[in-house]
A = this chain, B = another copy of it.
Amino acid sequence: MKSKPLLEAHIELSEILRDTHYGHSVVEYSSPPSAGQFAKAVGQSIPFVVRGVARSWPAIDTNNKHSWTNEYLSEKLGDNPVTVSLTGNGFADAVTWLEDDKAKRRPMIGVPQNGSGYATPGQFVFASPYETQLPFTAVLSHLLDPRSPTVAHLQLQNDCLRSSEYSILLADVPSAIPSWATPILGAEPEALNFWMGHHRSISSMHSDPYENIYTVIRGVKIFTLYPPCDAYFMHKQEFRMATWRPVAQDEKPERIIPNVELVLLEGEDRLPWIPITYPALPAPLYPRFAHAPKPFVVRVNAGDSLYLPKGWLHHVEQEEDEEGLCIAVNAWYDGWEGMGLSWGWGHYAQKMETMFSDDEP
User: Chain A: residues with CB nearer than 8 A to chain B?
Assistant: 5-6, 9-10, 12-13, 16-17, 20-21, 23, 34-45, 180-181, 183-184, 229, 336-345, 347-349, 351-352, 355-356
In the complex this chain forms, how many copies of it are found?
A: 2
User: Within the complex, which residue of B339, B349, B351 is in contact with A21, where a contact is CB–CB below 8 Å?
Assistant: B339
Chain B, Cβ-Cβ closest to A336: B40
Verify A345–B336 contact, CB threshold 8 A: no
Chain B residues positioned under 8 Å from A355 (CB to CB): 5-6, 9, 356
SS of A interface (majority): helix
* Those 6 A-B pairs whose CB atoms lie nearest each other, nearest first: A43-B43, A39-B39, A20-B339, A17-B344, A16-B344, A36-B39
Question: Can you add 10 more A-B contacts, CB < 8 Å, to A10-B348, A38-B39, A348-B349?
Answer: A5-B351, A9-B355, A12-B347, A12-B348, A20-B340, A21-B344, A36-B39, A39-B43, A40-B43, A345-B345
User: Within the complex, which residue of B6, B17, B36 is in contact with A341, where a contact is CB–CB below 8 Å?
Assistant: B17
Verify B40–A344 contact, CB threshold 8 A: no
Chain B residues positioned under 8 Å from A352 (CB to CB): 9, 352, 356
Chain B residues positioned under 8 Å from A20 (CB to CB): 338-340, 343-344
Chain B, Cβ-Cβ closest to A21: B338
